[in-house]
Structure 1
């Protein structure tokens, strides 16, 4: 094992050495301040709506003051809707739709066209199958607000497609804060029973790791005999038997308690959180603040799935029973030091853990397992994924007047500067994902074709039992600064800004798969019988153990660096006009090395290193360019009876790069829909030109109306497409199309309709088109972009009682059908059908310190459905979910 790990470290150093770039992170870092407001019913005679509007006013003002289009949602709005995490909250933002309950599509562009930052800093993803962090991973309990940049500005990363989501966490409070909440919930799909989750089974046994080192990556009996008896050209029967015994002992070291056939009871969801914070004055100038949050939660859900093959739906289909158990832990600690309210240094530390245990039974038919004959294919899968994100941040915000800088020699032309704001940050984040056990056993069921009664079951011949062990670690270290110099020239006033960001990222992804090869005898019964200690003690049954994945190379290491410099001018003229223009330079390099952990000879690694020396190598991806942004805004208070009215025209040029999993030449399993995915090292960058026109009207009573037009021209967009794969499974990959464009109109508004009721909502109508080269195997050489919906609707009917004790919201969301993947060779494209979601949230405030919230989600109980033409290829049960939460605030 030591030799293996030393090799890994050398390879990682090589990958990082390849990547000599920097990351451009938004230097617009925010240290949020959270008050300790206690809401008493008698004060709330102006209604909870008043509370919501007061909290929203600062949010609206931030949105109004943005030179580029952005949406901001605050914690009051998130809490009102009953959203428990960032993903659920963003589902209600104009132009955004939620995919798989965790990934955000902005203006019809998939998750690769979106990015997420935490307080302005890049964070890695603990998700094995995605390079972007799942937004359901960030709990609402640590939030202050979420800002969605829908138009590019030069202080943001140049890797900008549909938008950038900046998650802004709670800062230290101004006074004492203490609250406790507990909750419980239930999913309609659970029905009190589910499959048994197997839990942590200890990871890859140390004995197998030692054997891999000793036998140089090959633990089959024939190779064991070669190492154990080096003097024998042909092993004797006794030597062969000894090698077989050693191999069988390695097999016995695996945890083979993998039966999940018996249903088990499902408990209700449970959650709890505690928040405590305060501020302390050291003297008249200096104060410190602290805020701590801890939360735990456990949830259970059944999510059964039905699949059938488009080409042969009558013969090739399968039913999947699935049970998920999720256990989460959140820890947050925020500290701040404030001097004269002009200089603040704060630290943010977050620990987010989420363990997902999945058990599934797949039963179905294909041309080799035909229903009329009673031969049914059965696969049982268990998978535990332990994910963790640990973040440390230090953020500084400073405000200087020119008198503060008297000790410096300042040129006279700088006399027009009134003051200077300086923001800087340092962030160190690590995401890990460990699969200590993932087992898959394939069996043959014999059923009565007339009654479907199970007659017998047996484990398949050959390599029919796989035990996978995976480890992922992403490390991202970044830092940067931004200064804003405010000037006044008389005829114009504004801000000159500039900054620099740098980041480096390393990824280690290691996977081992142990396979039990089943012989012709002793395979009858369920896996617990076939792989019992007693059964494996029989050396005559022909079982053996080997290493290697059916997916081929599954390990890799990567290094990535990005650095950027940017500058901009934001100027006001005649009180009605605002001009903003800037330029960003960003340099990017990435190195990826696929690894064969079983190749102890170094042949594959040497071949990769030689490939690095060749022109046009796919192991290195690099590029640098300039990315401009400009906006022209017309503003006028009182126009059309508004409190504030403005029209903004913006332009930007950005780039979208393939993520690590899309680019690495490996194959992996996307656990959400159980599809295999193959990376493509021949992918290239996508460049995007953006044009936005937005008109916003805000009224003094809180009503508002926004209308936006947008257009994006994309060169070489990256698309998810189908590839030739197994007869009973879908294999997906990625391909650059020639060109693409997306355009549309957005409407958003809020209206108070009286008697405590208000309505709000948004509507997006858009279209897109992309074209493939005539040589492409795609069925549709011209079609919409993957993931794009022609319409997205969000609507809310809200109510607040006059006495402030009752608050309710009815929320509706629907997106139009969207392409799931592009078909190939006359196979039609696959579409996900519209999903109608109706949620209800009711909150009761019996006292000024206690609130009781009831949430009912997906009341329509719709399933996710995917079609190719009129054939339903996937049907996923989601269920309705009910939650009850009780909160007490000091």
Structure 2
């Protein structure tokens, strides 16, 4: 019986094998591609069927399709896709051997011309293919992320999406979220931000650059990073320009919506999210409510915002929707897009606080640490964005559009510092403990309204103009911080045995701060396109005028404990607080601060440029831009205060020339030169003094603006569809670069952080971008090498035999602050249109870079290389519904700051055998380590 069963199984297996071989012998493969006839774009998702058979396929992202196991014979192959003309057919003869290759299908859209309306192309503007065409045909060097790419990325803000662009790194906040962009090693001050080509103001309290995390990424149609400026572009971008192109009205009805939820694994029952009550916070300080001569009392400061509650596993959530259509015979286009995000994030941080004055023993410029602590951040961020665009096409020669954008962000942050373990009174047997809390609510808003017109005045003359109103605001009402102090007694093993009898509350700070930038601007551009010597030449001229008003307010109240006698460890409610002395403490408004000021800036610019084909393949674009800058500021300080007010003016001439040589239809070589500038922020020019944790900050009224000469060379290959290969090099020569220094202001121990101009600096590097799809699989990679040099004077504090302790001035060459030598991204993609599945694994790497420049030789603070591994995917569940997920920081990569000094050298400066904590390497000293943990988000999307 067993033998018969075994014989039956063997026979059945043999029959199956024979049938398989015979089927393989008579079943062949059909391959081909499908494109848009007008744009050459791959029509991913198109349906391929062999008529009256079961054989079918879906077109891949690169336009290819494959039908396998087809029995030899003659078939009718049919291709169809929504939005294109009736299904096309062709006859296919499948032979017994070999692969049958079908000629490419070139489909036409269903779009029809309208009366007096010209619709240029109807290709999907959201796709990778569309932005590849923009990059190829552009006059400038740029990199672009499409809407579809942004949608699939693991990122939900523009800041985090920017790190995927070649040559771009991000500066993270203390919750690990990206905030500012660094382009080609140039810090955020050297870059500017546009929305639909229009510059917008910043809500930052000191700087011009914009926190890019305020923009939800789903509101964008594409994200452009422009790396070379033409004369018709504003000249204040040395590193690059970020242009946020918002969604525009579609050619037909569009509706999409999404909702998602998730959480950060940082928060649990053992490490809960810590929140505070902000509902009773007064947005006006006591002096604003009761008058400038009012000296506040403890009763003016309610304590609700320093009462804390814990939440385990708080839920993150997002919602978004877009709706748009065209009306009145397609002349009127309307689109509205909105997004809401609410996130709970944070960090666990280990920190060493470095003394402003280094030690001279044993080697000179030895770091000295006054505190070590572990700190917990809990940050709730909710942001809301809404934008709409209305355009009306009068006829083929006249069009007008109105764009509105509003973004709003609330950030509620609790900072809890449990203790300190190093201090001036620390020893092997006793250590200082300092428990502190800080509650901070920041409100940021940006609003922009732009009215634009495009007019074809004649066959040779075109005019476009823009009238712009923008306002950016930030407010930090009643930021509250307080702390307790004590000494703990240790046993010989280092364990805490008891708290001594000097526990007391040391005081509380309350700060009100707000600022507002308001812009009125007008742009006009006139284009004339005559034919000269049988060559069409495009002349363009125009300019802009912008009037900016900036208001800044700062009010700081410092309350001390009435008594510092013995008290048990308790809450802030049990400490008596008052100003000391009550009559003229820092709470009295008579102690004014120069950080309360009003400033103005007037920019007038004009340019002229020409573009023409010198040869059949060589395009030249060049010209000159002139920008006049007029600035003034007035502080609330008395007339006897040095630099109470000031005025600044200068003119910049900014030439540029751009050569574009077409080797083939899909290959370019570009060579560009342009001159650009970077203006200091108002908060850097005003002579304010603000308290900080390590150093107080002071402004610099004599700060100069930065100028730079820029060179770019790039080879471009666009094989088709979403594929690309870009190889480029760049060189920048900066005059008067702005760096932040630790500097003296008064006595030898009066050290401050202050912006200053360094000597000339150079910055150069190499970029490579590669994207390739192989059917359903794709790889996208970019790498940037950057090297910069700036030489500045540093202090060397050391001991000289026979002389004693002395400070020498020495010269040091180092990289620019924020510049990383190596930056790279690598993504593996899988796109299956038939299954409706998109998957992306994204890896991002940023190398060593200086985080903080020190005034002392070899004491700069560096950031260790940082990498992140993220995963995202989207799966179609039904015709219009899909499920998506985004998982961030799979490897739980910490952010680490360090000094290039061995811990063993630093430990020699401590007595009693004490050694600094948190060290894992004998070659360098970790001064900060932030851990963020993994976060994920999952939700549903609907598209019509």
Q: Structure 1 length as normaliser, TM-score? A: 0.81
- Structure showing greater relative contact order (alpha-carbon pairs closer than 8 Å, 6 or more residues apart): 1
Aligned residues of 1:70 and 1:151 also touching (Cα < 8 A): yes
- The 3 A distance-change label for structure 1 pair 539 and 811 is closer
| Cα distance in 2, alignment partners of residues 551 and 732 from structure 1 | 21
SS at 1:47's partner residue? coil
Deviations along 1:454-488, one digit per CA (max 9) or x if unpaired, are 748988577x2111111211111111011222233
SS at 2:587's partner residue? strand
Q: Higher strand proportion, which one?
A: 2
Corresponding residue to 1:269 among 300, 303, 316: 316
Aligned residues of 2:285 and 2:512 also touching (Cα < 8 A): no
**1:775 offset after TM fit, Å?**
9.0
Corresponding residue to 2:938 among 874, 884, 887: 884
**1:72 corresponds to 2:144:** yes
Aligned to 1:568: 609
| Cα distance in 1, alignment partners of residues 793 and 580 from structure 2 | 57
Aligned to 1:751: 772
| Cα distance in 1, alignment partners of residues 171 and 236 from structure 2 | 21
> Where do residues 491-502 of structure 1 align in structure 2 (5 Å cutoff)?
491-502=534-545
Aligned to 1:873: 927
SS at 1:503's partner residue? strand
Aligned to 2:786: 766
| Cα distance in 1, alignment partners of residues 438 and 706 from structure 2 | 37
| Cα distance in 2, alignment partners of residues 398 and 52 from structure 1 | 25
Aligned to 1:716: 736
> Where do residues 460-859 of structure 1 align in structure 2 (5 Å cutoff)?
464-520=507-563, 524-525=567-568, 528-530=571-573, 546-547=587-588, 553-596=594-637, 604-605=638-639, 607=641, 619-637=646-664, 643-668=665-690, 677-700=697-720, 702-723=722-743, 732-752=753-773, 754-772=774-792, 781-801=812-832, 803-859=834-890
SS at 1:292's partner residue? strand
Corresponding residue to 2:436 among 379, 398, 411: 379
Corresponding residue to 2:60 among 24, 47, 72: 47
**1:761 offset after TM fit, Å?**
1.1
Aligned residues of 2:504 and 2:567 also touching (Cα < 8 A): no
Aligned to 2:156: 84
| Cα distance in 2, alignment partners of residues 91 and 278 from structure 1 | 33
**1:183 offset after TM fit, Å?**
0.9
Aligned residues of 1:509 and 1:556 also touching (Cα < 8 A): yes
Greater mean alpha carbon deviation, residues 727-736 or residues 677-686: 727-736
Aligned to 1:289: 333
**1:53 offset after TM fit, Å?**
10
| Cα distance in 1, alignment partners of residues 870 and 694 from structure 2 | 28
Aligned residues of 2:501 and 2:566 also touching (Cα < 8 A): no
| Cα distance in 1, alignment partners of residues 748 and 303 from structure 2 | 28
Aligned to 1:325: 380
SS at 2:567's partner residue? coil
| Cα distance in 2, alignment partners of residues 528 and 401 from structure 1 | 76
Greater mean alpha carbon deviation, residues 73-82 or residues 577-586: 73-82
Q: How many residues align?
A: 778
- The 3 A distance-change label for structure 1 pair 592 and 468 is same
Aligned to 2:20: none
**1:144 corresponds to 2:221:** yes
- The 3 A distance-change label for structure 1 pair 537 and 872 is closer
| Cα distance in 2, alignment partners of residues 744 and 309 from structure 1 | 34
Deviations along 1:21-55, one digit per CA (max 9) or x if unpaired, are xxxxxxxxxxxxxxxx9997858921355599982
Aligned to 2:190: 113
| Cα distance in 2, alignment partners of residues 537 and 805 from structure 1 | 65
**1:390 corresponds to 2:434:** no
SS at 2:304's partner residue? coil
- The 3 A distance-change label for structure 1 pair 518 and 309 is closer
Q: Higher helix proportion, which one?
A: 1
Structure 2 gap ranges (5+): 1-41, 49-56, 64-122, 173-177, 355-365, 797-807, 901-923
Quick check: which has more Rg, 1 or 2?
Answer: 2
Aligned to 2:11: none
Aligned to 1:20: none
| Cα distance in 2, alignment partners of residues 439 and 103 from structure 1 | 26
| Cα distance in 1, alignment partners of residues 187 and 155 from structure 2 | 22
| Cα distance in 2, alignment partners of residues 797 and 139 from structure 1 | 24
- The 3 A distance-change label for structure 1 pair 523 and 728 is farther
Aligned to 1:347: 402
| Cα distance in 1, alignment partners of residues 186 and 845 from structure 2 | 16
Greater mean alpha carbon deviation, residues 447-456 or residues 470-479: 447-456
**1:490 offset after TM fit, Å?**
4.9
Greater mean alpha carbon deviation, residues 53-62 or residues 99-108: 53-62
Aligned residues of 2:126 and 2:221 also touching (Cα < 8 A): no
| Cα distance in 1, alignment partners of residues 185 and 680 from structure 2 | 18
Aligned to 1:14: none
SS at 2:683's partner residue? helix
- The 3 A distance-change label for structure 1 pair 477 and 778 is farther
- The 3 A distance-change label for structure 1 pair 420 and 76 is farther
- The 3 A distance-change label for structure 1 pair 774 and 54 is closer
**1:72 offset after TM fit, Å?**
2.0
Aligned residues of 1:194 and 1:265 also touching (Cα < 8 A): yes
Structure 1 gap ranges (5+): 1-36, 220-246, 403-418, 597-603, 613-618, 638-642
**1:420 corresponds to 2:461:** yes
| Cα distance in 1, alignment partners of residues 250 and 860 from structure 2 | 52
Aligned residues of 2:443 and 2:476 also touching (Cα < 8 A): yes
| Cα distance in 1, alignment partners of residues 634 and 446 from structure 2 | 24
Greater mean alpha carbon deviation, residues 120-129 or residues 781-790: 120-129
**1:449 offset after TM fit, Å?**
2.6
Aligned to 1:127: 204
**1:427 offset after TM fit, Å?**
1.4
Deviations along 1:481-511, one digit per CA (max 9) or x if unpaired, are 1122223335422311111111111111111
| Cα distance in 1, alignment partners of residues 125 and 578 from structure 2 | 71
**1:374 offset after TM fit, Å?**
3.8
Aligned to 2:36: none
Deviations along 1:490-549, one digit per CA (max 9) or x if unpaired, are 5422311111111111111111122222222678356745457xx579999999883369
- Root mean square deviation of aligned Cα: 3.4
Aligned residues of 1:780 and 1:822 also touching (Cα < 8 A): no
| Cα distance in 2, alignment partners of residues 545 and 588 from structure 1 | 37
Aligned residues of 1:806 and 1:844 also touching (Cα < 8 A): yes
Deviations along 1:536-585, one digit per CA (max 9) or x if unpaired, are 79999999883369995432221111010011001013321111111001
Aligned residues of 1:122 and 1:478 also touching (Cα < 8 A): no
- The 3 A distance-change label for structure 1 pair 210 and 102 is closer
Aligned to 1:226: none
| Cα distance in 2, alignment partners of residues 582 and 540 from structure 1 | 64
Greater mean alpha carbon deviation, residues 294-303 or residues 789-798: 294-303
- The 3 A distance-change label for structure 1 pair 395 and 865 is same
Deviations along 1:296-329, one digit per CA (max 9) or x if unpaired, are 2211112122211455566521221111011112
Q: Structure 2 length as normaliser, TM-score? A: 0.77
- The 3 A distance-change label for structure 1 pair 357 and 871 is same
**1:169 offset after TM fit, Å?**
0.8
Aligned residues of 1:47 and 1:804 also touching (Cα < 8 A): no
**1:707 offset after TM fit, Å?**
0.9
SS at 2:862's partner residue? strand
| Cα distance in 1, alignment partners of residues 470 and 871 from structure 2 | 36
Aligned to 1:307: 351
